[in-house]
Amino acid sequence: MTNSLKLKFWLALVLLVVAATSSILWATTIYMGQKYFAQQQESLFRAGEKLSEYVVAERDLGKIYHQMEIMGSYLNANISLVDPQGRILICSGREGIPRSSCQMWAADMIPQELVKNLLAGKKVAVRVESKLLKQDVLFTGVPVVFQGRVLFAILLQAPVREISGNFFELIKINILSTIIGVILATILAFWLSISITKPLIQIKTAAQKIANKDFSHRISYQGKDELGDIAQTINQMAAQLEKYIDAYQKREQNRREFLANVSHELRTPLTIIQGYTEALLDGMADDAKISEEYLKNILIEAERLKTMANELLDLASIEEGREKLKLENIDLAEFAEECINTFKNQFSEKGINLELEIRVREGKVIGDRNKLFRVIENLLSNALKYTPSGGKVKLAVLEREKDFQIITSDTGPGIPEKDLGKIFERFYKVDKARSSKGFGLGLAITKSIVEAHGGKIYAQNNPEGGANFMVILPKLPPSGDNGLPNGQ
């Protein structure tokens, strides 16, 4: 198919060039032929007129004959001088025609009616067939007029073959040039066919790759023409499809992991509940105190299941946008102090120093106060959980040109490098020891809340030890626009 396309395109270009060149050559040949014969005829007329002037000025036939010989040799033509009675007085000789045969030669070539027109004072030009020379002859005649009387007539005859000889040489040169031009055009057409079909072939290959679900293939052609636009569009389409497919596959992977994680998280509390319930039903807890203990354990596990269900519902509603944010202007400095006051007792009980750093001028953001409080709560609870007694946790609020940073840092063990990129995923737990009391949903919920506010969240390890969590929230719009919906 590729070769067929190249061949068809190449043949089409070659045929177009040959047809155009042949038409131009044919039209040029006809035009140049007519122009050339007209020029030759005009040359014979001018020569005849000059010779006519010479005859009037010079009455010596010998000198006239000599001049006719010179001019005839120059023009490659036969020249005759005819008197008013139509008799040839002098004729210049031609190769193969002796002067003694002038009368026979003239009778063979010169139509008598044209001689009469000449003697009547008219110039004549005609193409006649010579039986003697067995070829066509261009015949021209000029009258010799003196004081209004026709004294003689100058007759000039040039064989068409010899006139055409130079013209045909020119035609040969034109034909040779045309052949060379066609050859060069053929080579150029072949190059053009390759250059034009190459992007088409690349486009076809890319389409086949996309049809075969290979979205990584890209077209290398980057021309500034329509084909380049098509190639760029297909590349963009492939990139978008690749992006969508990757996102779809990631969602499917997350869905499978989610189901697996939910099943895993449900299995432990359900197993515990089942075990205690069966024990109670089998009468294994005869003592009231033991029965009460079993029931308390069942209640604890039921509460855990309820907590997990609520967290899953919260996460889903935030991610899907079903839970509307109750937006208001929030002063970050005051908000951070409220959070510190809420959690300082918990940190004091564990012997952890909780610090607050505020470096803002007018730190206001638009947000849902309760949701942002949950963000700080999750981050501080996470720091409290993994920071040992005697350690330090700091909450910092920093202002930048276009946004604010809320940073929690601790002096705990930090986060393994391999887990840094995954800790915000649902149900992700670094290890059993660090996550024995949770479901791995807290940071996922935190990330969803931050993104719902148009912000971002990052995690990194401190070089000195411990972990940093950085929340970035955009500033309020300028010019007093609080960015809130009407009525807020």
* CATH code, domain with 309: 1.10.287.130
Mean pLDDT, to the nearest integer, of 427-445?
A: 63
- Tell me: do 362 and 466 sit in the same domain: yes
What pLDDT does residue 277 have? 86
- Tell me: do 306 and 372 sit in the same domain: no
Rank 93-107, 132-146, 300-314, 400-414 by mean pLDDT and report only the highest: 400-414
> For the domain that residue 449 is a member of, what is the CATH number?
3.30.565.10
What pLDDT does residue 470 have? 93
Kindly give the residue spans of alpha helices, DSSP state H, lying in 76-219.
102-109, 112-119, 160-211
- Tell me: do 392 and 287 sit in the same domain: no
**Of 286, 319, 352, the domain-final residue:** 319
**Band of pLDDT at residue 264, cut at 50, 70 and 90:** low
What pLDDT does residue 68 have? 84
What pLDDT does residue 407 have? 92
**Of 167, 193, 217, the domain-final residue:** 167
Q: Which tokens belong to 114? A: 């044209």
Please tell me the total count of domains within the chain: 3
Q: What is the mean pLDDT of the chain?
A: 78
| 483 within a domain of the structure (yes/no) | no
Judge whether residue 471 has pLDDT over 90. yes
What pLDDT does residue 93 have? 59
- Tell me: do 349 and 464 sit in the same domain: yes
What pLDDT does residue 487 have? 39
| 191 within a domain of the structure (yes/no) | no
Calpha distance 38→403 (Å, rounded): 90
What pLDDT does residue 397 have? 92
- Tell me: do 125 and 250 sit in the same domain: no
| 219 within a domain of the structure (yes/no) | no
pLDDT tens digits, residue range 142-196?
A: 888 888 888 888 888 777 665 555 666 767 777 787 788 778 877 877 777 777 7
pLDDT tens digits, residue range 205-251?
A: 888 887 887 777 787 776 777 777 887 888 888 888 888 888 888 87
What pLDDT does residue 394 have? 92
What pLDDT does residue 357 have? 92
| 422 within a domain of the structure (yes/no) | yes
Judge whether residue 59 has pLDDT over 60. yes
**Of 167, 199, 228, the domain-final residue:** 167
What pLDDT does residue 161 have? 65
| 181 within a domain of the structure (yes/no) | no
Residue 477 carries which DSSP code?
A: P
Q: What percent of the chain has pLDDT over 90?
A: 7
Number of H helices, E strands in the chain: 10, 12
- Tell me: do 331 and 280 sit in the same domain: no
**Band of pLDDT at residue 99, cut at 50, 70 and 90:** very low
Judge whether residue 111 has pLDDT over 70. no
Select from 391, 380, 378, 382 the least CA-distant residue to 350.
391
| 154 within a domain of the structure (yes/no) | yes
- Tell me: do 135 and 260 sit in the same domain: no
- Tell me: do 282 and 332 sit in the same domain: no
Residues whose CB is less than 8 angstroms from the CB of residue 363 and which lie 6 or more positions away in sequence, other chains included: 331, 332, 333, 397, 399, 404
- The count of other CB atoms within 10 Å of the CB of residue 270 is 13
pLDDT tens digits, residue range 4-41?
A: 666 776 677 777 777 777 777 777 777 776 777 777 77
Judge whether residue 478 has pLDDT over 80. no
Judge whether residue 319 has pLDDT over 70. no
What pLDDT does residue 105 have? 53
Looking at the whole model, is its pTM more than 0.85? no
Mean pLDDT, to the nearest integer, of 197-204?
A: 77
Please report where in the chains the tokens 């109750």 appear, as a residue: 326
> For the domain that residue 77 is a member of, what is the CATH number?
3.30.450.20
Judge whether residue 395 has pLDDT over 90. yes
**Band of pLDDT at residue 433, cut at 50, 70 and 90:** very low
Judge whether residue 117 has pLDDT over 50. yes
Q: Could you list the residue range(s) of the whole structural domain that residue 468 is in? A: 327-474
| 208 within a domain of the structure (yes/no) | no
- Tell me: do 314 and 347 sit in the same domain: no
- Tell me: do 309 and 346 sit in the same domain: no
Judge whether residue 480 has pLDDT over 60. no
pLDDT tens digits, residue range 266-298?
A: 777 788 888 878 888 877 767 778 888 888 888
- Tell me: do 307 and 352 sit in the same domain: no
| 487 within a domain of the structure (yes/no) | no
**Band of pLDDT at residue 396, cut at 50, 70 and 90:** very high
Which is more confident, 106 or 473? 473
Determine contact, residues 141/79, Cβ cutoff 8 Å: no
Determine contact, residues 231/204, Cβ cutoff 8 Å: no
- Tell me: do 314 and 333 sit in the same domain: no
